[in-house]
Amino acid sequence: MPHLLDAFDTLPEWLAAQGQPAWRAKAIRRWLTAARAESFAAMTDLSKGLRAALEAEFQIWTTSIAKHTRADDGTEKLLLELHDGQRIECVLLREQGPGAEGAGARRTVCISSQVGCAMGCVFCASGLDGVVRNLTTGEIIEQLLRLQALLPADERLSHIVVMGMGEPLANLDRLLPALATAQDPDGLGISQRRITISTVGLPPAIDRLAVEHPVYNLAVSLHAADDELRTRLVPVNKAIGLAEVMAAADRYWEASGRRLTFEYVLLGKLNDSPEHAHSLVSLLGGRAALVNVIPYNSVAGLPFEEPTQTDRERFLDILREAGVNVHVRRRKGARIDAACGQLRRLAVTAS
């Protein structure tokens, strides 16, 4: 049965064939996104006949919640089982502190773009078994709706980071329509300025995004500032090289006018020395970029260490003293294995 969240493009045509006005497609989409309807029965302004026809033709949900965990800091993580038994993860991150509730509160979701990942970054849980398949547009939208359903009625999703499982730039054809749905002002209404796509750095796909949709924030995962080390950590670098990645990032910056983010996972005794920090400073060469430093989240079975506090602080100090804009990603939901790919692996190991 077709997935309705994957059929928004063809819905007007289907409605016309039912003798219905095409604008009802918008109304149905609004029911699912802004109004959080969970079934056709809830779409009370549609005729009973139309609801029955929709019910017979489409399914709204293709995933089931295999596991739902909630951490003390309000982070919630869903392990979703797809129609073919594959599993993906998505996470809701809540801003904490006084006034951080109700309308206007920051509610960020981290979503997956693929089952598994082909990039093979050696420290990452998602790619340990390679890529299984791309997610469909509907499966990407379904993650947003499942996470939105965790919020009280007066709160809405405010930000999206495509930083879950998979390489989003290897699945742009399905991701872009899902992000367009996320922005619909009559639907989830998430501004494009609040959507970030994180990539290992695939220059042709970055260029495509720069030409077609230079509207999102781009985060490029560097993890090393020289080719020898980066190729060890991020094997796809071998065929690409840092110079190409940086040049593509610059072209995206020129096209979008949005400040670039570079991600750097800090791995104890591997890429966290003062020399590594200096080499990152020189690679950045005065670009007005933000560096997002992510202390490594250990993955069971992998031989990497978290950086010590001293090494981490020294690394950050060198960047800051050189005038680099640095942000350290706070650990959220560490106790529920909220780092990408971890919950899926635990579930795989346990079953």
Query: Where in the sequence numbering do the catalytic residues fall?
Result: 89, 340
**Smallest distance, ligand SAH to C-beta of residue 199, A:** 5
Nearer to ligand SAH, 294 or 318 (CB): 294
Listed in sequence order, the residues at least 6 apart from 234 whose beta carbon sits closer than 8 Å to its beta carbon are 119, 120, 121, 122, 200, 221, 223, 224
**Smallest distance, ligand SAH to C-beta of residue 239, A:** 16
**Smallest distance, ligand SAH to C-beta of residue 164, A:** 6
Q: Distance of CA 229 to CAs 40, 121, 124, 276, 314, Å?
A: 53, 12, 16, 10, 20
**Smallest distance, ligand SAH to C-beta of residue 167, A:** 4
Distance (Å, whole) CA 11 – CA 22: 8
Q: If 0-12 CB within 10 Å is exposed, 13-18 middle and 19+ buried, where does residue 151 land?
A: middle
**218 DSSP β-pair partners:** 197
Token couple for 228 = 């020898």
Transcribe 318-332 into DSSP letters. HHHHTT-EEEEPPP-
Token couple for 280 = 């990152």
**Smallest distance, ligand SAH to C-beta of residue 163, A:** 4
Nearer to ligand SAH, 4 or 178 (CB): 178
| Residues forming the site for ligand SAH (CB under 6 A) | 119, 121, 123-124, 163, 167, 198-200, 221, 263, 265, 294, 296-297, 299, 339-340
Nearer to ligand SAH, 36 or 269 (CB): 269
**DSSP helix, strand, coil percent of the chain (3-state; round to 5):** 40, 20, 45
Nearer to ligand SAH, 124 or 245 (CB): 124
Are the beta carbons of 144 and 188 closer than 8 angstroms? Answer: yes
Listed in sequence order, the residues at least 6 apart from 275 whose beta carbon sits closer than 8 Å to its beta carbon are none
DSSP letter, residue 166 = S
Nearer to ligand SAH, 115 or 163 (CB): 163
Nearer to ligand SAH, 166 or 187 (CB): 166
**Smallest distance, ligand SAH to C-beta of residue 96, A:** 20
Q: How far apart are the first and last CA of the chain?
A: 28
DSSP letter, residue 3 = B
